[in-house]
Amino acid sequence: MVGDEEVRVMGFKSAFVLALLLLATGMSGCLGGGGDDGLPSEDDPFNVPTWNIADWWLYTFSTPEFSDDTTRLVVAEDDAEGGTAYMLAISNQNEARRHAVLNHNPFLGRITHDNLSAFEGGEPGAVFKFPFQKHDSWQFTLFETEWTAEVIEVHLENNGVTRNRIAVITASADDGSVLAYIFDESAGFLRTLIWTDPSGVEQLNIQLATFGSGHEGEVWFIRAGDIFDKEWDNNGAPNVEIEDSFFVSGHPSAGDYDEMIYWLVGEMGGGQSSGSLTLRDHADLTPIFEEWTAGDKTSELGQAPYPSGEYTLTGTQTGDSYIHLIVAGGISFSWTL
């Protein structure tokens, strides 16, 4: 017998998939890039695309916690992992830093040739499963979550001039989270991905704006390691002190970092609300010193020198005060295309 909660989850997932299908159909023929060659039919095999160096995709990333971010992903290498993987980089160094510290883009770094699998924790995860046949199912790990995926639909788009296929996929987790995404054959990559938590809140929304080939210029990839992530939510209490610390060594498998990258958020309410935060290293240098007064709402991406050792955090909070600090270590790679 199916319980009320399971019925609720099934109903939510069905509505979500329907909305995704409508989005897929509504976007038909709207994307840039690609060409009019090669008109697929429903019977053609949905093969793994071959990427070339300097191919690119422009995506918008939306999260509930951080501001929207538009980023161009670029193929920087086609012979990584002993000739078995591509290397996806970013066309802007600050954006590469942002994605390194916020860690919300799973499609950076190594992507395998055979299945366009993204690496997480040193292992490739099969987010896709070619040749995308309806009702195919498989398991993979992404965002440190185990997912069971199914191809809901393979849809042929036809605008009278070009034909293009998309694969609509959903994946579910044991906690009720849902991952829904579309692979676009003409783009050769992801068109959209939406990650929704058990309560129905979108934790990540990735949308493809356009794509192309022949990118020119410098591109970056930052191999990151998580160092520190903490929130302080004062909820109206007076005169609260912040005291914390963390230790920095190096990347667990790749050695010393080039730099530390941080994302700092401060949100102050009205009245007497205020806050401050100072980060000091073991030489008593202060990579971070920030103060907020009532009504301030700021978010800041920054870099700090990387001497290994202990770092200390001190600060104050009064009234309705919220502070969030994320710190990652980064090892930078760049290519000129």
Q: State the DSSP H helix or E strand holding residue 149, giving kind and residue range, or none if neither.
A: strand 145-158
Q: Are residues 158 and 302 in the same domain?
A: no
Tell whether 35 is covered by a domain: no
Q: At CA 116, angle to CA 114 and CA 118, rounded to 5? A: 125
Distances in Å between the alpha carbon of 128 and those of 35, 55, 148, 203? 23, 19, 11, 20
Quickly count: other Cβ atoms within 10 Å of residue 155's Cβ.
Answer: 17
Q: Are residues 171 and 239 in the same domain?
A: no
Q: Are residues 211 and 227 in the same domain?
A: no
Whole-angstrom distance, CA of residue 108 vs CA of residue 122: 13
Q: Are residues 80 and 16 in the same domain?
A: yes
Tell whether 36 is covered by a domain: no
Q: What is the pTM of this model?
A: 0.85
Residues 6+ apart with CB under 8 A from 11: none
| Overall domain count for the chain | 2
Tell whether 34 is covered by a domain: no
Whole-angstrom distance, CA of residue 142 vs CA of residue 181: 13
Residue 4's SS3 state is helix
Q: Are residues 25 and 55 in the same domain?
A: yes
User: Quick one: which of 8, 35, 16 has its CA closest to 185?
Assistant: 35
pLDDT at 16: 54
- Tens of each residue's pLDDT in the chain, 337 residues: 444 444 344 444 545 555 555 555 444 444 444 444 455 566 677 889 999 999 999 999 998 888 788 999 999 999 999 999 999 999 999 999 999 999 888 899 999 999 999 998 788 999 999 999 989 999 999 988 999 999 998 888 877 667 788 999 999 999 999 999 999 999 999 999 999 999 989 999 999 999 999 999 999 999 998 999 999 999 887 889 999 999 998 777 677 899 999 999 999 999 899 999 999 988 888 899 999 999 999 999 999 888 888 999 999 999 999 999 999 999 999 999 9
Residues 6+ apart with CB under 8 A from 16: 170, 178, 180, 194, 196
Q: Are residues 70 and 196 in the same domain?
A: yes
Tell whether 296 is covered by a domain: yes
User: Quick one: which of 174, 136, 138, 176 has its CA closest to 154?
Assistant: 136
Q: Are residues 304 and 191 in the same domain?
A: no
Tell whether 277 is covered by a domain: yes
Tell me which residue range forms the domain holding 268: 223-336
User: Quick one: which of 82, 68, 95, 50 has its CA closest to 218?
Assistant: 95
Residue that is written with structure tokens 């996929």 in the block: 169
Residue 244: which CATH number? 2.60.120.1540
Q: Are residues 165 and 203 in the same domain?
A: yes
Q: Which two tokens stand for residue 271?
A: 């009245």
Distances in Å between the alpha carbon of 241 and those of 11, 238, 299? 46, 10, 21
Residue 204: which CATH number? 2.50.20
Cβ burial, residue 123 (10 Å; 0-12/13-18/19+): exposed
Domain boundary among 216, 248, 263: 216
Domain boundary among 194, 216, 238: 216
Q: Are residues 210 and 227 in the same domain?
A: no
Q: What is the DSSP string of 42-80?
A: TTS--PPPPP-TT-EEEEEEE-SSS--EEEEEEEEEEEH
Domain boundary among 216, 234, 268: 216
pLDDT at 35: 42
pLDDT at 23: 53
**How many helices (DSSP H) and strands (DSSP E) are in the chain?**
3, 20
